[in-house]
């Protein structure tokens, strides 16, 4: 890395890029602590293993003559996914935070297009001119070809800019969940519906003795440590919106 005076600092620039959806570890830990306080702490590793087996049994008869090992692997993967996702979901889908940032971003983006359109002379040409090959190769492009390529690059950029503003407007109107919504319960119902639909021959219903509600409660126990919680309301909500 080069210092402001042009001297090497001896430090390397990291090329590792974090996923944009994930926060730095110290912030992620804080979010997880908040979510676990609300939902309780996850079940122990031993109990999680038992929950996987109980879910597998509740999925019988298995679809497509799948073996117990195949079904168990799918259920175990889903349980692990829920345990990772729930602490993140409440932060990622914070409606107020998304709305406030979208307003700032939309305001900034709204200024870019008119500035690009009004860019003078050489600046306007250089902003969207195609890369110049080095060394130069014959035959040289005509003025018409260069103008066409500049125009295409400009239009592509403006299209993307407008797409971003459209997403911002959607976020301003309200993207994400109500702050009082229990994300963990809704996520468990969704995953239970997916597991039942993909792996079981049983019909998905909202009745108390149906596998769907039982599996939802088992997934929620894995996340929260709370046993035998009846999640009828979130199960009914998932059924109303199910494809």
Give me the residue spans of the domains in the chain.
Answer: 25-93+178-241, 96-132+139-174
Alpha carbons 139 and 3: distance in angstroms, whole number: 42
What is the per-residue pLDDT across 83-140, written as a single tens digit (0 to 9) for each? 998 877 767 777 888 899 999 999 999 999 999 999 998 898 889 988 777 777 767 7
Q: Per residue in 44-60, is it b (16+ CB within 10 Å) or e — as a string?
A: eeeebeebbeebbebbe
pLDDT at 30 over 50: no
Residue 219 and residue 79 in contact, taking contact as beta carbons nearer than 8 Å: yes
pTM of the full predicted structure? 0.58
- In sequence order, what are the residues at sequence separation of 6 or more whose Cβ sits closer than 8 angstroms to the Cβ of residue 189? 216, 231, 234, 235, 237, 238
């Amino acid at each position: 890395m080069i210092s402001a005076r042009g001297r090497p600092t001896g430090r390397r620039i990291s090329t590792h890029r974090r996923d944009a959806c994930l926060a730095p570890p110290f912030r992620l830990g804080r979010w997880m602590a908040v979510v676990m306080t609300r939902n309780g702490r996850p079940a122990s590793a031993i109990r999680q293993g038992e929950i996987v087996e109980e879910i597998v049994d509740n999925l019988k008869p298995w679809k497509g003559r799948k073996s117990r090992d195949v079904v168990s692997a799918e259920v175990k993967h889903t349980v692990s996914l829920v345990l990772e996702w729930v602490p993140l979901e409440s932060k990622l889908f914070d409606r107020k935070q998304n709305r406030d940032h979208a307003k700032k971003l939309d305001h900034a983006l709204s200024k870019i297009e008119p500035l690009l359109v009004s860019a003078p002379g050489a600046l306007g040409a250089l902003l969207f001119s195609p890369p110049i090959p080095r060394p130069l190769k014959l035959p040289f492009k005509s003025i018409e070809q260069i103008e066409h390529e500049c125009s295409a690059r400009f239009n592509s950029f403006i299209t993307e800019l407008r797409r971003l503003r459209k997403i911002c407007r959607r976020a301003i109107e309200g993207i994400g969940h109500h702050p009082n919504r229990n994300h963990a319960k809704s996520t468990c119902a969704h995953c239970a519906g997916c597991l039942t639909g993909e792996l079981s021959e049983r019909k998905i219903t909202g009745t108390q003795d149906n596998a769907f509600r039982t599996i939802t409660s088992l997934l929620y126990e894995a996340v929260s440590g709370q046993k035998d919680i009846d999640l009828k309301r979130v199960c009914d909500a998932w059924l109303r919106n199910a494809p």
